[in-house]
């Protein structure tokens, strides 16, 4: 089951603009719709909707987080990270990249949030990390 837009939608289009997979369709000032076959359940549409007109897959109305900089962001624990790159592959907006581990003789490249503005707080990176080296935090890192 995917996210769903309710009849409270006024057609502002902010959900459509933030969707990383173009699962949302609709004309301005008209009710928008989410294609469940395309939706990846990232929840960005619900976090950004100013009218709280999006329901999650469980049927609960999503709570808007007004200031986008307060959306949870991934925090990487380098002591647990094994540099497998699964988090990079899991990110639907490609905002995670790899950089060399400073002060280390190893050639491992560690993940970091390269583009904070593009992060949609989906938590896929954290959920997919096989060693729990990523936590989602709403604190500015």
The model's confidence at residue 109, banded by pLDDT at 50, 70 and 90, is: confident
The model's confidence at residue 112, banded by pLDDT at 50, 70 and 90, is: very high
Q: If you average pLDDT over residues 92-101, what whole number do you get?
A: 90
Q: Which helix (H) or strand (E) holds 43?
A: none
pLDDT for 105 equals 63
Q: Give percent of the chain with pLDDT exceeding 70.
A: 93
Domains and CATH numbers, the chain: 1-66 (3.30.70.20), 68-137 (3.30.70.20)
pLDDT for 139 equals 65
Residues 6+ apart with CB under 8 A from 18: 44, 45, 48, 120
- The residues facing 75 across adjacent strands are 135
How much is the pTM?
Answer: 0.87
Average pLDDT along the chain: 92
pLDDT for 99 equals 87
The model's confidence at residue 122, banded by pLDDT at 50, 70 and 90, is: very high
Per-residue model confidence as pLDDT tens digits over 41-77: 999 999 999 999 999 999 999 999 989 889 999 999 9
Q: How far is CA 131 from CA 76, 80, 85, 88, in A?
A: 11, 7, 12, 14
Q: How far is CA 99 from CA 25, 27, 56, 124, in A?
A: 37, 41, 35, 20
Question: Does pLDDT of 141 surpass 50?
Answer: no
Question: Does pLDDT of 106 surpass 70?
Answer: no
């Amino acid at each position: 089951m995917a996210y769903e837009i309710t009849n409270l939608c006024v057609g502002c289009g902010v959900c459509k603009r933030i969707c990383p997979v173009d699962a949302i369709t609709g004309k301005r000032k008209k009710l928008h719709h989410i294609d469940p076959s395309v939706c990846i359940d990232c929840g960005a549409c619900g976090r950004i909707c100013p009218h709280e007109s999006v329901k999650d897959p469980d049927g609960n109305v999503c709570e808007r987080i007004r200031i986008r900089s307060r959306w949870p962001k991934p925090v990487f624990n380098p002591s647990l990270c094994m540099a497998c790159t699964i988090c990079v592959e899991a990110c639907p907006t490609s905002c995670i990249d790899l950089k060399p581990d400073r002060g280390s003789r190893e050639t491992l490249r560690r993940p970091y949030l390269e583009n904070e503005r593009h992060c949609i707080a989906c938590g896929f990176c954290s959920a997919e990390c096989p060693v729990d080296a990523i936590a989602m935090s709403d604190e500015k890192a």
